[in-house]
Structure 1
Amino acid sequence: MPNTTQNAPTNVEEIATSMQDTVLGIWADFVNHSPFLVMGALILLFTWGISALAARLMDASLRHSKMRGSLRELFVRLLSIGIWITGILLAAMVTFPGLTPARALSAMGIVSIAVGFAFKDIFENFFAGILLLWRFPFEKGDFIECEGISGQVEHISVRQTLIRQTSGELVIAPNSFLFLNPTKVLTNLPRRRITIITGIAYGENVTEAVRVIEHAVDECRTVHKDRPLEIFPQAFGASSIDIEVTWWADPTPVDVRRSRGEVVTAIKGALDEAGIEIPFPYRTLTFKHPLETVSLEKSEGEIS
């Protein structure tokens, strides 16, 4: 019968020796490879500095041109991305000496596919941001409206857009949301058309009312004179003749509200001064059977 008591310490010593040799081998390999790791880290640090410097220089040079701000920012970011890709490839080849450019590109392609599936939404927003910056449907400072979100664009990045609503809240909208949904650019033009409906009583002269309204709106400071003023009788309303009043003003939301307030005040004052009635809602009641009337004097006599 074998002596297990004597073999046990021998097995433990062999396992411990094997583990020690493995750890020492790993440490020796790490020490031998450490110059390559340090060189790779230095290359990444150098890449970071070159990317920041190149982006700053390119942005400064493009600022003197007539290039749009969004397109200038796109070129700067693409330059930074290109520098970082080159630096990472170079650092990988230095860190792993057996890695060739062809193998590195192949590995990067496989990794990019895996990462693309894992971070689909991030890459979707990234490419949507590039398309938004390239096509420039709106710029920083524009007022936009998309799916119930309305406000001023504060910043456009490659992943998201910051929108400051007129009530003060900040909305962080993914670029894919703005790219895939219809978006109104309220300040795309320097002028914006505004329409209101006013009404006059049926007994008033419509032609005279239109003339009075036209003169009143034309005197308003916020109404632009380089665009036509349009005033048309529109419909027979329930209690009035409805008149459509259309003019052009500055495009921002506060400018629209200011202009609408000035025009409404001017129309009300002009119609009052001309003696043209702006009617309250009238109701005509028709009964199926004639109503019996009782005189007030007879009623009082019966009561006494």
Structure 2
Amino acid sequence: MKAEISIVWKKIQSMIDSFMIMLPNIVLALIVFAIFYFVGRQIKRVVRRVTRNHHQARNLGLVLGRLAQGTIVLVGLFIALSIVIPTLKAGDLVQLLGISGVAIGFAFREILQNFLAGILILLTEPFRIDDQIVFKNFEGTVENIETRATTIQTYDGRRIVIPNAELFTNTVTVNTAFDQRRMEYDISIGYGDDIDHAKQLILEALYSLKEVLKAPAPDVLAMDLAESTVNLRVRWWIAPPRRIDDLRSRDKVICAIKKKLYVENGIDLPYPTRNILFHDRTEEIDGDRSQQREGWPADKRKVPKLRRISGSVRKLTQGRSQQDGNGKS
């Protein structure tokens, strides 16, 4: 029993001696790690302070500050470990880091994809905070760009969180990328109206609106000869190009065009129409396409006179009555 106690005591003394020998290295390693940690925090603060007054670069500065701090702290940890364990070489640390990185990469693949995509979005800035974007079925104002996801606020007051990997690899429309934006609206006039006159009236209506820019100038183009209308495309520019400005200018333009064309100048704004021809089988010309009304013969003098539906029904009823009378006789 005394021998076993003696062996345990010797092991404890050996551990204490080893700790006392390593104590200076441990203290030095802690001091080195504390220095690197302090430097990392200061660099993070400097980056955030530099980008604080730049609204668009605020998120980028925050991310870069965290990355710089993390990198410096990791380097300090490696140096501290090499001081405490002199036999631990830099190559072993790099190898350990590589193996750990592969394992972490497989386990958190999607998270890392979103992280890298967020960094690239912040660096390349395809869109910025407060930009209005369209992504798939979502449209709204960019609220925040983080390393994992981007949040947008829709025009009806909802928040959409979109992973950065999807934003970076798919098509995104930035409506506020430039200071000006061109709008368009199609309007139809009748075939009996003068196209050039209608164009001139539309331009007068556009130039009278303060919501429509005078440069670039608005224009009106004839686009299609439809079944019952002549289709014109009205194009104008607005600034700033935000959603509310789009709606306001569209409202003013449509109201001004209708008033100018229809109310003040009598330009026809037709709606879809359809002619329905009733085939009167009681006529003697039934079956003769060159004579009956459905055939619309080229010679207008040969077009039969129109008859009331009531008269055709009465004649048809009389014809059936005569047939019934002949049958009875």
TM range (shorter): 0.7 to 0.9
Mapped pair 1:131 → 2:120:
yes
Residue 5 of structure 1: aligned partner? none
Alignment of 1:1-304 (within 5 A): 32=19, 49-62=38-51, 72=61, 75-93=64-82, 96=85, 98-249=87-238, 250-271=240-261, 272-289=263-280, 293-295=309-311
Q: Aligned equivalents of 2:249 and 2:223: distance in 1?
A: 22
Q: Aligned equivalents of 1:164 and 1:121: distance in 2?
A: 24
Residue 3 of structure 1: aligned partner? none
Q: Aligned equivalents of 2:63 and 2:74: distance in 1?
A: 16
Q: Aligned equivalents of 2:250 and 2:217: distance in 1?
A: 16
Letter in 2 for 1:276: I
Q: 1:150-200 CA deviation, whole Å, 9 max, x = no partner?
A: 111111122211111112111111110101111111111111111111111
- Call closer, same or farther: CA 1:184–1:65 in 2, change over 3 Å: closer
Aligned length: 283
SS of match in other structure, 1:83: helix
Q: 1:85-139 CA deviation, whole Å, 9 max, x = no partner?
A: 3233234445655433332222112111111111111111111112112211111
- Call closer, same or farther: CA 1:214–1:56 in 2, change over 3 Å: same
- Call closer, same or farther: CA 1:197–1:284 in 2, change over 3 Å: same
User: Contact 2:132/2:174 (CA < 8 Å) preserved in 1?
Assistant: yes
SS of match in other structure, 1:168: coil
- Call closer, same or farther: CA 1:151–1:293 in 2, change over 3 Å: closer
Q: Aligned equivalents of 2:37 and 2:213: distance in 1?
A: 51
CA shift at 1:48, angstroms? 5.2
User: Contact 1:74/1:134 (CA < 8 Å) preserved in 2?
Assistant: no
Higher relative contact order (CA closer than 8 Å, sequence separation 6+): 1
RMSD: 3.8
CA shift at 1:70, angstroms? 6.3
Q: After superposing the two structures, state which structure 1 stretch, 80-89 or 285-294, moved more.
A: 285-294
CA shift at 1:61, angstroms? 3.3
Query: What's the TM-score, normalizing by structure 1?
Result: 0.77
Gaps of 5+ in 2: 283-307, 319-329
User: Contact 1:151/1:165 (CA < 8 Å) preserved in 2?
Assistant: yes
- Of all paired residues, the percent bearing the same amino acid is 27
